[in-house]
Amino acid sequence: MNRRDVSKGETRRLIMAAARKLFLEKDVDQCTMRAIAREAGVSPASVVVHFKNKGALMEAALTEDIERTTAQALATMPSQGDLAQRLNHIWRAMYTFYDANRRLYRVLIRSTVFEPEEDTPFLTWQTITFFNFLEKMIDDEKAEGKMASTVTSYILATALFSHYFGALVMFYRDPSMTPDMAADLVLNMNRQALAGLTTHPSEL
């Protein structure tokens, strides 16, 4: 790595540290690219070189905390209980995390989840990693005979995650919904989906 690469890496680190500090301390609208550049001690042009807009900068600066929270939830997930119950440990941890700063993470989610994958590399990587984990859990359930071998792991992982995300939308739209309320809702949705709804599935 040459001196120029080191300088670029350090500039990026300073920008991300300044952005994270301001996003956590101030209203998002006050965290302009110019204000972040001032906090980082670099020129506004330097910020734009590394991040094309505030949404991209938010993603880079804030998803590290999301990744850390997810990793901790995975590491402490109970080994006992049914699949829905064990997954609920993760959902509850994430709702609790978002609840600590609903305003900020509402903006982050709104600015990233509906954007193309190539424009949200950090979120995309986290999502892929988590889906791989979900599929592995489902594959283990199938291998242990707890789930039908005909289940498509990716489809079921998508369905279970969609319950979490749907409740996350409700969580942000309804200030009275607590992390526990959201987690309990997803637990019931996951369990109902895993239990099955049809009496004659062969006729479908």
Query: Do 65 and 36 fall within a single domain?
Result: no
- Per the domain annotation, does 204 fall within a domain? no
Rounded Cα distance between 164 and 2, Å, is 45
Query: Do 72 and 158 fall within a single domain?
Result: yes
Burial class (CB in 10 A: 0-12, 13-18, 19+), 65: middle
Q: pLDDT of 130-164, one tens digit each?
A: 999 999 999 999 999 999 999 999 999 999 999 99
Q: pLDDT of 43-90, one tens digit each?
A: 999 999 998 888 889 999 888 899 999 999 999 999 999 999 999 999
Which CATH number do you get for residue 21?
1.10.10
Query: Do 23 and 45 fall within a single domain?
Result: yes
The set of residues, in sequence order, having a beta carbon less than 8 Å from that of 112 and lying 6+ positions away, is 55, 58, 59, 120, 123
Let me know: does 85 contact 96? Beta carbons within 8 Å: no
Query: Do 98 and 46 fall within a single domain?
Result: no
Range of the domain at 11: 1-51
Query: Do 93 and 146 fall within a single domain?
Result: yes
